[in-house]
Structure 1
Amino acid sequence: MTFAPFKSLVPITLLVAAGASAQQPSAPAVPLPATEWTAPALEPFVATYQAFYKGKEAGDATLRVVHSEGAQWRVDMAVRGKRGFASVLGLNLEQSTVFNNEGSVYTPLSQSTVKKALFLGKKVTGVYNWQTGTAQWQGDLKKERQQPIPLQRGDQSALLLNLSLMRDARPGQTLQYRYVDVGRVRQYEYRAADATENVQIGDLSYDALRVYRTNGGNDETVLWIANGVPTPVRILQRKDGEDEIDLRLIEYQGA
């Protein structure tokens, strides 16, 4: 799911073997027919990730999807810094998005971000008002980011973007989304690899599809999605060619 855990949990939005990179595989991949790829279904789950910051273990993260009632769902992400620099700062980040599942579109209804750290804290809440056609945030934000933003069908919050990538990605496909979160609007473009690849995480091995952002400039976002797993098995963010935030799936279970 595009997550930026220590920032705004963008697709993050949401793993290869330790030491592997987000670069294209050296050996040519055999294209996988889209008909042989089955997108993970949206279902309640709780997933636990091991969190790394610049190659060093920094803590853990929990991603949770809950079905409220009818078409309404909620996705939550909590990141806890426990080691190294993140531990010294006491960094903790929680994000949540309430949304409607409309089949081909996940429609955000509300969003919240709470960041706790030594000497600072931040709380921001936002509402996607589809009756007025605007989204607006309030809290610890600059004034210009508290202004109403006109909505478009298909707009995604950071956490929803990860779920949408899980649903939409097919081998070889290009995907485009409009990201509207915390008072900002951005266009995100992603591409799914032509074929799945072996992804080793701890003692487990996954046949996973790599999905990566193509218009992030020096900021790269990569997710690995495996058949039968409702959450990304790895979520990696790289900056200036170096791994920065890396979430690796430890376990998951139905909620």
Structure 2
Amino acid sequence: MITALLRPIALASLLATLPASAQDAPTVAAPAVPAADGGMPPPPQWDPPPLEPFVATYQAFYKGREAGDATLRVTHEQGSRWQVDMAVRGRRGFAGILGLNLEQSTVFDNQETVYVPLSQSTVKKALFLGKKVTGTYNWQEHVAQWQGDLKKDRRRPIALQRGDQSALLLNLSLMRDARPGQPLRYRFVDVGRVRQYEYQAADATEIVQAGDLSYDALRVYRTNGGNDETILWIANGVPTPVRILQREDGEDAIDLRLIEYQGA
């Protein structure tokens, strides 16, 4: 489970990204209403959430079984500098026995139309296992580089491009950029890897169950992941995805479902 969660959750970033006016408890948007003439309904009104501090808690499932919980946190440091963190804790089944834990963090600069990563860290903890990786995005030299417990070829410098995203920032960017029916494309640069990620937002919202609440949410899914699917659902007025799902070969793998959120 921990290895799988290292993939960007679109968090997944894990985990993943990311935000609206923070509230003390989730709100439920009104369901979509069919068009009066029986034709296709118009695209729903969509208001992307502003970047604001919050803390969100998720139930974590692995292959359909409850495995633990996850916390996603966005904090404002000073000026245009922010930080996003995700912690995943294995509490049940095999993950609980091994005490599997994953922590990810990205410090970034909010430049309004783009979130610019500045530093990144990943820590894995388990029985007989401990790994840590840190990375720096040097925008003066336009180079990113990682150090720590990873292969030699993943410690090589990577040339940066404007708009590059870490795993957790990708989640935040999807929250900000998604619009009904629109495609999205990002360059992922994290833990010594570079990949292109393409997403598509559904044409209309759908009802999604998360915990004890139902949300009228927009489904955003990756279109170039092959047998590995990443799907998240976002709802108007909610600063964090209400559900994040990773599927492998058509089967549910990692499934994070929102329990609660509040302003940080």
Taking structure 2 as the reference length, the TM-score comes to: 0.87
Q: Residue 5 of structure 2: SS of its match in structure 1? A: coil
Deviations 1:145-186 (A, max 9, x none): 000000000000000000000000000000000000000000
- Hey, what's the Cα distance between the residues in 2 that align with 1:85 and 1:7? 18
> 1:202 offset after TM fit, Å?
2.7
- Which residue pairs with 1:18 in the alignment? none
- Which residue pairs with 2:119 in the alignment? 110
When residues 171 and 91 of structure 1 are mapped into structure 2, their CA distance, relative to the original with a 3 A threshold, is: same
| From 253, 257, 260, the counterpart of 1:244 | 253
User: 8 Å contact 1:9–1:95 — kept in the other structure?
Assistant: no
When residues 140 and 253 of structure 1 are mapped into structure 2, their CA distance, relative to the original with a 3 A threshold, is: same
- Which residue pairs with 1:33 in the alignment? 43
> 1:205 offset after TM fit, Å?
1.4
Deviations 1:195-215 (A, max 9, x none): 001112232111100000000
1:163 aligns to 2:162 (yes or no)? no
- Hey, what's the Cα distance between the residues in 2 that align with 1:93 and 1:185? 21
- Hey, what's the Cα distance between the residues in 1 that align with 2:154 and 2:163? 21
When residues 85 and 31 of structure 1 are mapped into structure 2, their CA distance, relative to the original with a 3 A threshold, is: farther
> 1:30 offset after TM fit, Å?
4.1
Q: Residue 163 of structure 1: SS of its match in structure 2? A: helix
State the AA in 2 paired with 1:43: E
When residues 10 and 204 of structure 1 are mapped into structure 2, their CA distance, relative to the original with a 3 A threshold, is: closer
- Which residue pairs with 2:263 in the alignment? 254
User: 8 Å contact 2:9–2:246 — kept in the other structure?
Assistant: no
What stretches of structure 1 of length at least 5 have no aligned partner? 15-28
- Which residue pairs with 2:223 in the alignment? 214
Equivalent residues in 2 for 1:5-16 (5 A)? Answer: 6-11=5-10, 12-13=12-13, 14=16
- Which residue pairs with 1:57 in the alignment? 66
- Hey, what's the Cα distance between the residues in 2 that align with 1:32 and 1:75? 34
- Hey, what's the Cα distance between the residues in 1 that align with 2:48 and 2:42? 14
- Hey, what's the Cα distance between the residues in 1 that align with 2:40 and 2:102? 39
Q: Percent identity?
A: 78
- Which residue pairs with 2:160 in the alignment? 151
Taking structure 1 as the reference length, the TM-score comes to: 0.90
- Which residue pairs with 1:73 in the alignment? 82
1:178 aligns to 2:187 (yes or no)? yes
| From 90, 95, 101, the counterpart of 2:110 | 101
> 1:120 offset after TM fit, Å?
1.5
Q: Residue 107 of structure 1: SS of its match in structure 2? A: strand
State the AA in 1 paired with 2:173: S
User: 8 Å contact 1:62–1:78 — kept in the other structure?
Assistant: yes
- Number of residue pairs matched by the alignment: 238
When residues 239 and 5 of structure 1 are mapped into structure 2, their CA distance, relative to the original with a 3 A threshold, is: closer
Give structure 1 regions of 4+ aligned residues with deviation exceeding 6 angstroms.
none
- Hey, what's the Cα distance between the residues in 1 that align with 2:169 and 2:261? 18
> 1:88 offset after TM fit, Å?
1.9
> 1:112 offset after TM fit, Å?
0.2
State the AA in 2 paired with 1:222: I
Q: Residue 126 of structure 1: SS of its match in structure 2? A: strand
- Hey, what's the Cα distance between the residues in 2 that align with 1:32 and 1:223? 22
User: 8 Å contact 2:119–2:137 — kept in the other structure?
Assistant: yes
> 1:9 offset after TM fit, Å?
4.3
- Hey, what's the Cα distance between the residues in 1 that align with 2:42 and 2:185? 21
> 1:7 offset after TM fit, Å?
2.4
- Hey, what's the Cα distance between the residues in 2 that align with 1:247 and 1:64? 15
User: 8 Å contact 2:9–2:244 — kept in the other structure?
Assistant: no
RMSD: 1.6
Q: Residue 82 of structure 2: SS of its match in structure 1? A: strand
